[in-house]
Chains A and B, each alone.
Chain A
Amino acid sequence: MNFDLRLPIGLLFSFYGLLLTIFGAMSDSALYERSLGINMNLRWGLVLLMFGMAMLFLAWRARGRAPK
């Protein structure tokens, strides 16, 4: 089957990562009282973004290659 699952996973998590990172960077710090004062949106957004990009990279590297 010529459809690499890493592509949609990469897209979804890159999008979520970007969304959270931007939201986290712009939001008021009062929002993070419940998360123990840590800006979890920014931090976790970056983690998701890295994961998403890594998946996209793997899919890009394997592009066009016949699936094993």
Chain B
Amino acid sequence: MQQIHLGHIDYTILLVYFGFVIGIGWVLKRYMKGSTDFFLSGRSIPAWVTGLAFISANLGAQEVIGMAASGAKYGIMTSHFYWVGAIPAMVFLAIFMMPFYYGSKARSVPEYLKMRFDEKTRGLNAISFAVMTVFSSGISMYALARLLEILLNWNFHASIAVSAIVVLVYIFLGGLTSAIYNEVLQFFMIVFGFAPLVFLALKDIGGWSGLKEKLIPVATSQGYAAGTWTNSWSHMGKVTDNPMGVEWIGMVMGLGFVLSFGYWCTDFLVVQRAMAANSMSAARRTPLIAAVPKMLFPALVILPGMIAIALHYANGNNLLPMKDGAPDYNMTIPVLLVKYFPTGLLGIGFTALMASFMSGMAGNVTAFNTVWTYDIYQSYIAPKKSDEHYLWMGRWATVFGILISVGCAYLASKFNNIMDMLQLVFGFVNAPLFATFLLGMFWKRATGHGAFWGLLGGTTGAAVFHGLAIAEGNTPGIKGGWIAQQFHFHNDMGQNFYMATVAWTTCFVLTIVISLMTARTKSDAELKGLVYSLTPKPETAHEPWYKQPVTLGVLILIATVLLNIIFW
């Protein structure tokens, strides 16, 4: 792999960026008067800011590096992660769920569960979420440090230290507001850093028609139909027809419904951004404003991957570095940056790459310190303390959250298996969540016992299914089939989609059955503002059409359907 040589101007750009990021935290410090300022930005942020932060918190390294890699590996079918696996859930969150999250004045997603169900359901969600977020932020840090080591020959330890300290300083000073403001900065950085890359790469390959033509040999040489890399739906009839190895039913159910709604509608990492909005209307518009760039991101992250693989084949398997006999897809974006960017612009592109890692990390850290302070510390360790005390705790939770993340980054560098194992377990825990929220918000009869045991049952269901299912070419063990090899899948992705569907269904059915068998613990009056049928609909008639969630949501869905048809 060719190393990047950064010039003085590139380092200047990078350092100025770090300076700005920390400067924003420093300016915001004086606004942090109480814990609500620190954890919820005092619910005072305008919708365009929360909207862009919402999408930026999700635009971590995994997104930029991973989606470009998928673009190279699977072609435009990767867009399903956006147009099927994100937009519908974001619209649903805005229209149906945000009134409860924002209207209930819950300070976190686990706290909503406590208000709606009971203490144990909150505890289960809060603890599993807190553990997951510090680990994710650690994995993000590890990935960044590895990349910098390979590309720039930077010292691994120094990279970890620098990224951890920058994120630590600006969150310690300015809390969630600082994270949100910097996420918006990162958003623009990423857009302006990668747009010229797409422009140059697309020009180089002869535009969309040139790309289409050059992707034909990529598909046919791997035994697929000619248009496989440039059609999103046409080749989804059978698992063997496309490189993703999934058919449309499994994809729509697993990705489009269970995984997508589970992430976008219940993950506090993103929901927290909307909760910081300055009004109900702004909170509901947050995911909708975010949906617009999300809809267009495939052009920014998937397209470069498709171009890279086309160039790779056209040059006789020479562009992407090889790893274990296959192209190292994760190197797509760095390789293209080196190929097309002159020094100067390279600084912008490279800073954008760093920004994407840091926004993912910061999002996890702010979600962690809030859940830790409100849902674990205030609830179980030190209740009834002064607000200053919780503000103090939040600041220190940021410090030790980042320290644990650093520990996880080193753990990831030493024991890859532990990380695979943890991510697997997180998958089990996350898959059923949306069933609990759906029943909680739309069925007033759902009880705390039903929710708690339903969640545990769903997680168990996921684990058992995983133990019984195996994908082709995998040996029984961490990849599945550790009980018996009962269900066979074409590949890991299909196995994962069906596992999610099984977990969701188990949780959904169990919650209903147990709820019906147990007595209600919350009266209709207590559930007002928490359950759909008991809550007055938010009044939006006085708002202009472009501020009405339903109107915006419908427009966004129409645009998404059109995109799917154009690239069918």
Binding site for B on A (CB under 8 A): 1, 3, 5, 8-9, 11-13, 15-16, 19-20, 23-24, 27, 31-32, 34-36, 38, 40-41, 44-45, 47-48, 51, 67-68
- Residues in A with CB closer than 8 Å to B20 are 8, 11-12
Check B46 against A67 for contact (C-beta < 8 Å): yes
Chain A residues, Cβ within 8 Å of B49: 5
Q: Is the CB of B203 within 8 A of A36?
A: yes
Q: Are B200 and A35 in contact (CB under 8 A)?
A: yes
Does any Cβ of A come within 8 Å of B340's Cβ?
yes
Q: Are A20 and B188 in contact (CB under 8 A)?
A: no
CB–CB A34/B184 < 8 A:
no
Scan B179-216; emit 1 where CB is below 8 A from any A CB, else 0.
Answer: 00100110010001000100010011000000000000
For window 41-61 of B, CB contacts with A under 8 Å fall at 41-42, 44-46, 49
Within 8 A of A (CB), among B15-53: 16-17, 20, 23-24, 27-28, 31, 41-42, 44-46, 49
CA distance A43 to B203 in the complex (A): 15
Q: Is the CB of A23 within 8 A of B278?
A: no
B196 and A16 within 8 A (CB): no
A13 touches B188 (CB 8 A): yes
Q: Is the CB of A40 within 8 A of B188?
A: no
Q: Confirm or deny: B404 has a beta carbon within 8 angstroms of a beta carbon on chain A.
A: no
Overall SS of chain A's interface? helix
Asked if B196 and A12 sit within 8 Å, CB to CB, the answer is: no
Question: Which residues from B are CB-within-8-Å of A15?
Answer: 16
CB–CB A1/B42 < 8 A:
yes
Contact of B192 among A24, A32, A40, A51 (CB under 8 A): A51
Secondary structure of the B contact surface, majority rule: helix
Contacts A13-B192, A35-B341, A41-B344 given; does A1 touch B177 at CB 8 Å: yes
Candidates B16, B41, B204; contact of A12 at CB < 8 Å: B16
How many residues in B have their beta carbons less than 8 Å from beta carbons of A? 36
- The reply to whether A40 and B339 contact each other, CB–CB distance below 8 Å, is no
B343: Cβ under 8 A from any A Cβ: yes
User: Smallest distance from the beta carbon of B394 to chain A beta carbons, Å?
Assistant: 18
Contact of B28 among A3, A13, A44 (CB under 8 A): A3
B177 touches A35 (CB 8 A): no
> Which residues of the other chain, A, contact B509 by a CB distance below 8 angstroms?
none
Residue contact A34 to B340, C-beta cutoff 8 Å: yes
Cross-chain pairs A/B with CB under 8 angstroms, 5 sampled: A1-B42, A1-B177, A11-B20, A38-B200, A40-B200
Q: Is the CB of B345 within 8 A of A20?
A: yes
Assess the A34–B339 pair: CB atoms within 8 A. yes
* A1 proximity list for chain B (CB < 8 A): 31, 41-42, 44-45, 177
